[in-house]
Structure 1
Amino acid sequence: MLGTIINALAVISGSSLGLLMRRSIGEDLKGKLLSVIGLFTLYLGADMMLRADKPLGLIIGLLLGTYIGHIMKLDERLERLSNIREKSADGLLVPFLTFCIGPMTVIGSLRDGMGDPSIILAKSVMDGFSSIAFASAFGFSVLLSAIPLLLFQGSLSLLGRFIGNSLPLSALGEMTAAGGIILLGLALRILGIKRMNVADMLPSLLIAPLISQFL
């Protein structure tokens, strides 16, 4: 888990620097930065969405995962958590999903657990720089995104440590595609087009690749 710990520290360091820069940034520039982040999230989601090999498993996984997230009230709980520090949960969701959704995260975390942190270390550099921009736009809650990052990637690292060599990587496309669709919903939210409860969709990241194995 060495790579994951370093990754979380990189996000904390970058976020701290971004918070210092935030004080000298006007509201007009903050709005422009949010628009750029929204457009980038839209691009990233569209690119990842096309990775699905089994669309039927993807849609079933998204529907079932969203239902589970709704029952668990994930979006409501995240809003309550973020409102302790900031009015919006976007500062938690945007960095976490951007940092933790994609092949580099999944494969890198699994490899980290198997004793090879090289992929996650490279990712840490990118996440550190990205968190500077995120914190400049969103504020303190970006710093908190290091916590779910540590939990998510740490869980994958532990998985890789014990059964990494026997995990089927064929489900990676469905996990990536599900993450892409979640990012598209998040982009609509950032750009002010439609406020979607994307946190409720997070269980789809596990359900979609699982269902795809049986189709």
Structure 2
Amino acid sequence: MVGLGTIVNVAAIIIGSIIGYYINDRFSKTLQESLMTAIGVALLVIGISGVIVRMLRVSNGRFDTQGTMLLILSLVIGTLLGEWWQIDLTMAKLGTIIRQKMIYFRKDLDHSDNLFIDGFVSATLITCIGAMAVIGSLQDGLTGDSTMLLSKSLLDLITCIVLSASLGIGVLFSALPVGVYQGTLTLLAYWLSPFLTAQLISDLSLVGSALITALALNLLWEQKIRVANMLPALLVPIVYSLIQFLVEKL
């Protein structure tokens, strides 16, 4: 069934967030910080390995790199667009709006605006970007194989338990952008399968892995990298692939 992976993924985020929110009192501050560090380490390893796998190649017994210029251009152009569009600020405003709506239902909501927004934004970035979200959604749309998204769902379940225990119920609402993002990718893959080459999927995964690495740096060393403003970098490989396709047709 096309789209099953995204449905399960959204459910896993909701369930994990609820569990984490209601067991947060069993997590000491030190344990919460340690678990957040563990997630940061895992993301750092996943991000770096994803970049290495797609950039390094062996040619005639020698290591060579590929996709370096595309990666640089994607991050630079994507960041310029993201800063122009102020995606980070938009996500923060969206988090504020969601929290204000929540107050109508939960008068006892005791988390600050910043904590709620941090939970929403951090969880959205962790669950949306990266190779598994991109490739898994594309595979789901192209072949109906949701195996990778089901594996991602398990990871997101655990991640959201930890994040929600530390950052509160804002984490739960990351299910909304994940559903829209992965669902859109799946539908596009289903409709535009003739244009989705293996090289394009690899390029998207490369850029996604770089963004995951930047996110890991934020979690581990409290850097202020505005990863949300780098998200348009994922559009650059698509535009590049489209230009290549048009040139070949001329």
Output the TM-score relative to the length of structure 2.
Answer: 0.75
Paired amino acid for 1:9: A
Give the count of matched residue pairs: 215
Instruction: Give the aligned partner of residue 152 of structure 1.
Output: 181
Report if the CA contact (8 A) 2:21-2:169 is conserved.
yes
Aligned to 2:114: 87
Aligned to 2:124: 96
Query: Share of identical aligned residues, percent?
Result: 33
Matched residues in 2 for 1:212 and 1:94: separation?
30
Shift in Å, 1:107:
3.2
Q: Output the CA distance in 1 between the equivalents of 2:50 and 2:118.
A: 20
Q: Verify the 8 A CA contact 2:126 2:215 in the aligned structure 1.
A: no
User: What residue is the counterpart of 1:64 in the other structure?
Assistant: 77
- Report the Cα offset of residue 190 of structure 1: 1.6
Structure 1 residue 152: deviation in Å? 0.8
Q: Tell me which residue corresponds to 1:133.
A: 162
Q: Answer yes or no: is 1:204 the counterpart of 2:204.
A: no
Mark the CA change 1:38 to 1:122 in structure 2 (over 3 Å): closer, same or farther.
closer
Query: 18, 24, 31: which one pairs with 2:20?
Result: 18
1:96·1:148 contact (CA, 8 Å) conserved in 2? yes
Report the Cα offset of residue 111 of structure 1. 3.3
Native 8 Å contact 1:93 1:145 kept in 2 = yes
Deviation at 1:5, TM superposition (A): 1.8
- Measured on the aligned residues, the alpha-carbon RMSD in Å equals 2.4
1:76 pairs with one of 79, 83, 89: 89
Q: SS at 1:203's partner residue?
A: helix
Gaps of 5+ in 1: none
Please tell me whether Structure 1 or Structure 2 has the larger radius of gyration of its CA atoms.
Answer: 2
Aligned residue in 2 for 1:118: 146
* 1-structure distance, mates of 2:151, 2:159: 13
- Encode CA deviations 1:131-150: one digit per residue, 9 max, x unaligned: 22222232212111111111
Structure 2 gap ranges (5+): 56-65, 100-112, 245-250
The separation in 1 between residues aligned to 2:86 and 2:179, in whole angstroms, is 22
Report if the CA contact (8 A) 1:111-1:164 is conserved. no
CA deviation string 1:106-139 (max 9, x = no partner): 3332333346243233432332233222222322
The offset of 1:21, in angstroms, is: 1.4
CA positional deviation for 1:15: 1.2
Report if aligned partners of 1:172, 1:209 keep a CA contact under 8 Å in 2.
no
Residues 121 and 186 of structure 1, relative CA distance in 2, 3 Å threshold = closer
Aligned to 2:27, the other structure's residue is in SS state coil
The alignment partner of 1:194 has SS state of coil
Judge conservation of contact 1:58–1:212 (CA < 8 Å) in 2.
no
- TM-score where L is the length of structure 1: 0.86
Q: Distance in 1 between matches of 2:16 and 2:222?
A: 29
